[in-house]
Structure 1
Amino acid sequence: MTKNKYDLENKVVLLTGGGSGIGREITQSFLENGAKVAVAGRHLKSLQETIQNYQDDQAVALVGDVSKPETSKNLVYEVQKKFGRIDIVVSDAAAYISGTIDQLSNDDWEKVRQTNIDAFFYLATATYSALKETQGTLIAISSVSGISGDWSQAIYNASKHAINGFVRSLALDWGKDNIRVNAVAPAFTLTRMTSDVATNKDQLALINSRVALGRPGTPEDIAPAVLFLATEDAKYITGTILTVDGGTSASTGQPNLN
């Protein structure tokens, strides 16, 4: 949970991809800071585990595939029916497939594009009116992979570059409505999705060698940045891609020879 308290009492949050990892930590951090959260994802059991320690009047699990256009519309309807409004939207649903272009299939591309790009578009479109009413905020969980390139990550990086482009342009378009749009961009983070690398000492050492702080990120490192962007303390911040990466993106990519 967050070290500091944030003024989020009774704010209503819609978060996608909250069944595990970073999304679960963000969900629980919002709840611990007094917000009401509707957490969405494809697997009810995982969502229920995320909110199991919270009351029904503070948290609700909503099942749906956000890569489908009708899902986000249904989510907005359900959240407004239960909580009456939407103040904060967090787009965290994501898919990751690695490999060079010649190794990947059309289905691989479709999965990454639909989950990472299409889902964000559908969510933004569906929540615009609700956020306009509350002068709320939309926060995407992007990646430092949306800032530069990586080996064997062409389609994933392309999807995260798209999200960063969406965020910057939506911030311009929605500024007139006092809706703020930002992204948080982690680097390698310890989650279930990255467990194969995290348990490989040689690979983890290579990753840590690129991090100024010398360790991988954790979901607990990411959540506070999201909460900050959702508060009045960030009321003049929009169109920003906030890197929360331990200094990974500060490097040119050259090795440390000292």
Structure 2
Amino acid sequence: MARFAGKVAIVTGGANGIGAAVAARLAAEGAKVMIADIQEPASTCDSVAFIETDGTSARQVAALVDATVAKWGRIDILVNNAGLGALSETPEMEEELWDKVFAINTKAIYLFCKYAIPVMRAQGGAIINVASISGLGGDYGMGVYNASKGAVINYTRSLALDCARDGIRVNALCPGLIETAMTALTVARPADREAWLGPIPLARMGKPEEMASVIAFLASDDASYMTGSILTADGGITCHTGQPNVPARRKLREQQG
């Protein structure tokens, strides 16, 4: 399938994890892909290029957009995937950490949109912002991450309104726990793995390739009537209120007599 033949995409944070899977998926379906990251990807090819880019620097983002246009003549897809997590309760949190998380998780999205949208207006296109289920609710000790991803979600809605007249669709993906190098340590101990996977109805972590499939859908004409949508891909965790599994507990009591 070549859904993206003739299309050009920018993928931020495309060197590893979800971003790397997205870059590979779009390229496999015919797109030319420019990876923007502070780390070098494992490999590039004729259809996948890389420019080291600090997404919080307006100068570097503008240069990346210009280089993409110079190389391939257009931009059709922008995947704002780069992000940073943080664990700290507010009284102990350094101001610098708050600023850093918001710079990477929100300012970088603004900058890539600022410089890419004028180019995309020539023919329309699709922007996908990678948020998180942590932008839909709160987590213990993750206030700055929750706040930044919540900002991404509502910015996506506002951006969708502003871009609709130009034929540019803007949607957000909210992943749950995804199997990447970043999360490997989180679930390394059996007890920790049980704590993280226990609340997930599908009882497993998601794979970067599964997130890439959703993003490829949102970038494609298959999602041509979707804009301002906030999609979750989380194994079902956000469909739960957090209350106990009453039927399971009842069965347990019956078994125990």
TM-score tier, shorter chain, comes to over 0.9
1:124: how far off?
0.9
Aligned to 1:239: 228
Residue by residue, what CA displacement relative to the aligned partner does 1:168-206 show, whole Å, maximum 9, x if unpaired? 011011111111000111011111111111212111112
Q: Where does residue 81 of structure 1 map in the other structure?
A: 70
Q: Counterparts of 2:80 and 2:59 in 1: how far apart (Å)?
A: 16
* Residue of structure 2 in register with 1:141 after alignment: 130
Q: Is 1:37 aligned to residue 37 of structure 2?
A: no
Unmatched runs of 5 consecutive residues or more in structure 2: 249-257
Aligned residue type for 1:106 = E
1:17 aligns with 2:6: no
2:171 aligns to what? 182
What TM-score results when the alignment is normalised by the length of structure 2? 0.93
What is the Cα deviation at residue 10 of structure 1? 2.3
Instruction: Select the residue among 122, 140, 163 that pairs with 1:151.
Output: 140
Matched with 1:252 is: 241
**Percent of pairs with identical residues:** 34
Count matched residues: 247
Change (3 A) 1:176 1:208: same
* 1:256 CA drift (Å): 2.6
**Distance in 1 (alpha carbons) for counterparts of 2:164 and 2:141:** 36
Asked whether 1:66 is paired with 2:55, we answer: yes
SS in 2 for 1:97: coil
Gapped runs of 5+ residues in structure 1? none
Q: 1:8 aligns with which of 4, 11, 20?
A: 4
Residue type matched to 2:241 in 1?
T
Give the secondary-structure state (helix, strand or coil) at the position aligned to 1:243. Answer: strand
Instruction: Answer whether contact 2:187 2:196 (CA < 8 A) is retained.
Output: no
Cα RMSD (Å): 1.1
Q: Is 2:219 the counterpart of 1:230?
A: yes
2:11/2:78 contact within 8 Å kept: yes
Q: TM-score, normalised by structure 1?
A: 0.93
Aligned partner of residue 198 in structure 1, secondary structure: coil
Match of 1:105 in 2: 94
Q: Which amino acid aligns with 1:66?
A: G
2:22 equivalent in structure 1: 26
Rounded Cα–Cα distance in structure 2 between residues aligned with 1:129 and 1:145: 30
Secondary structure of the residue aligned to 2:105 is: helix
Instruction: Answer yes or no: is the 8 Å Cα contact 1:138–1:180 preserved in 2.
Output: yes
How far the C-alpha of 1:6 sits from its partner, in A, is 5.5
Identify the match of residue 201 of structure 2 among 202, 205, 212.
212
- What CA distance in whole angstroms lies between the structure 2 residues aligned with 1:158 and 1:123? 20
Q: Tell me if the contact between 2:156 and 2:171 (Cα under 8 Å) persists in the aligned partners.
A: yes
Aligned AA (2:205): P
Structure with the greater alpha carbon radius of gyration: 2
Contact 1:6 1:228 (C-alpha < 8 Å) held by counterparts: no
Inter-partner Cα distance in structure 2 for 1:11 and 1:201: 44
In structure 2, what is the Cα distance between the partners aligned to 1:256 and 1:196?
28
Asked whether the equivalents of residues 182 and 239 of structure 1 are also in contact (C-alpha less than 8 Å), the reply is: yes
